[in-house]
Amino acid sequence: MSDSQVDCVIVGGGLAGGLIALALQRARPEFRIRLIEAGRSIGGNHRWSWFDSDLSNQGRALLSDFRQIDWEDGYEVRFPKYRRELKTAYRSMASPDFHEGIMRALPHGSVILNRKAESLDARGVDLAPSQYDPAERISARSVIDCRSFKPSPHLKGGWQVFLGRHVRLEKPHEIDHPVIMDATVDQLAPHGNGGSYRFVYVLPLGAHDVFIEDTYYADDPLLDRNALSGRIDQYAHAHGWSDGTPVGHEAGVLPVLTGGNFARYQEEIRIPGVAIAGARGGFTHPLTSYTMCVAVENALAIAEQPDLSGEQLAAFFDTRARQHWAKTGYYRLLARFLFFAAEPEKRVKVFQRFYKLREGLIERFYAARSSMFDKVRVLWGEPPVPIHKAIVAIFKSGPALKSKASNTAQAELENELQTEIVMQKETGA
């Protein structure tokens, strides 16, 4: 086994890990950084999207070197009772562009692909042997764990399941701006387990290119690829896009947090002296699984730290995770209303009512920056769920975020979360 020494090694090359590596490289170009990714590319096979208002000027600067698609005129939502256009600029970035940007920004040899981290500790990472490389030990002053979310009995909630397809059409689609939530579609779950809040997400990526994603909030994590693919076919046919040629896809299962014991979860995933960031560290929006804001903020925060020793960095992220959990308690409450107070087929009414509110309130909600007035306003007025059920939901936490079926099913779920580009669905929805 060979051994090398670096200043910081980051395990997991998704959004969180890639942005941390980029921020560190910009702030401390003399640092020796290693970004380790088990897959073939940084960012996997994914697309991240966000509101322009989500990021500070520093955050925009961090993303400035990545190729992005911009819709300056805003976006649209569609519900059974209305359609609404909102004016805030919307951005999107594909994982190949994220990969290219990271590879371009980091020094040669800083990124290690197709290598699985066999073990992590406060002083480094052991890489498993691959087809072409022997086992290797990378020693480091600090280690950051940015691997995917790990299902746990200490976290409670439901699931957001999605399948997306990038289609190239023969004729222009004539869509001017994104439709980030089209909830006029059938609200039944695809696998016959009753109702579910379902919507379709549409991005016009070019005159002939469109991205269609079928998403639903459900009580179980079953991803029925055939059913979702068929529903995308139906949606494309209804909009005159049947002549499209698929050029890419993504799929995933994301946790929607309703409660749990976060301290116990931290104990479960903790590796002494190793900092934990990204979705595994709890840095996600409980209701929407949205993480762009917090990923950017964490990357900027770590770049400002004067000392990157392992123990101090681990404590730093441990504290930030607890603060984030406390800060997002309101959104877990709303998730409980969605899952435990609303009938599955009527969950659409919750979002239908929400999107009638002020534009700024909606954007602050997705960035997890709701003001006290925002929080009151979301709950004030005609309730989207029955009052008596809402009261009961307040005191519920929900089922554990793990498969209820079998150990095999649980292993398949964890594999899905780790290998199907399922760090986060960054659609702002």
What's the total number of domains in the chain?
A: 2
Same domain, 94 and 159: no
Same domain, 398 and 423: yes
| Domain-located, residue 80 | no
Q: Give percent of the chain with pLDDT exceeding 90.
A: 71
Q: What is the pLDDT of residues 39-51, one digit of tens each?
A: 999 998 889 999 9
Domain closes at, from 222, 239, 254 = 254
pLDDT band at 409 (very low <50, low <70, confident <90, very high): very low
How would you write the chain as a 3-class SS string?
A: CEEEEEEEEEECCCHHHHHHHHHHHHHCCCCCEEEEECCCCCCCCCEEEEEHHHCCHHHHHHHCCCCCEEECCCEEEEECCEEEEECCCEEEEEHHHHHHHHHHHCCCCCEEECCCEEEEECCEEEECCCCCCCCEEEEEEEEEECCCCCCEEEEEEEEEEEEEEEEECCCCCCCCCCEEEECCCCCECCCCCCECEEEEEEEECCCCEEEEEEEEEECCCCCCHHHHHHHHHHHHHHCCCCCCEEEEEEEEEEEEEEEECHHHHHHHHCCCCCEECCHHHCCCCCCCCCCHHHHHHHHHHHHCCCCCCHHHHHHHHHHHHHHHHHHCHHHHHHHHHHHHHCCHHHCHHHHHHHCCCCHHHHHHHHCCCCCHHHHHHHHCCCCCCCHHHHHHHHCCCCCEECCCCCHHHHHHHHHHHHHCCCCCCECCC
Q: What is the pLDDT of residues 283-342, one digit of tens each?
A: 999 999 988 999 999 999 999 987 778 899 999 999 999 999 999 999 999 998 888 887
Give pTM, 2 decimals: 0.90
Write out the residue range of the structural domain in which residue 220 sits.
154-254
Same domain, 23 and 107: yes
Q: What is the pLDDT of residues 169-220, one digit of tens each?
A: 999 999 999 999 999 998 876 765 555 789 999 999 999 999 999 998 888 8
Domain closes at, from 230, 254, 278 = 254
| Domain-located, residue 359 | yes
